Amino acid sequence: MFIFVSKRFVRIFIVIFIISVVFLALQNINWLLRVVYPFHYRDIIETYAEEYNVDPYLMVSIMRNESKFNPNAISRRDAKGLMQIAPITGGWAAEKLNIEDYREDMLYDPDLNIRIGAWYLNILHREFDDRLQLIIAAYNAGNGNVSKWLQNPEYSQDGETLDVIPFGETRIYSQKVMRDYEIYKRIYK
């Protein structure tokens, strides 16, 4: 037995279905955003963010862009772990933080990697007077490069902010981290 369904009924059903899906999505947008923007390693991040007076949302935004939360990540420049700590930064941090028997492969340990990342971000915060744009650029390109750019009128007219970030990779990285930082603040606060 065939049931005759009019085209009008089908259209009404589709409209109701779409409205229902949109309504459910809007009701669960925060859940959906948390799936797309997870806060992995939250306990460790919050511990070291508090210890080193660094914004945890900045840390997770950097981590998302640096390693995509892969503790075994390694860059083409040999930076390692979640926060992509360069070997030279890891050695310097180990000395300053009195980390005994430090070895470079320890940078794959999430706790140590996040601790060093928070420590280094604290240094950048102090060096660049809490100016987020400069801190993020320095995390990627190095504080020496950012300091040089600030002194060059081609890149900074006021010596306080960067009008132009000359490294394309750093420019794109900075935009992504800032975007993610705003999203993390909005969905997790």
**pLDDT tens digits for the chain (189 residues)?**
555 667 787 788 888 888 877 777 666 777 778 889 999 999 999 999 999 999 999 999 999 999 999 999 999 999 999 999 999 999 999 999 999 999 999 999 999 999 999 999 999 999 999 999 999 999 999 999 999 999 999 999 999 999 999 999 999 999 999 999 999 999 998
Count of other CB atoms within 10 angstroms of residue 182:
12
Active site residues: 66
User: Model's pTM, two decimal places?
Assistant: 0.85
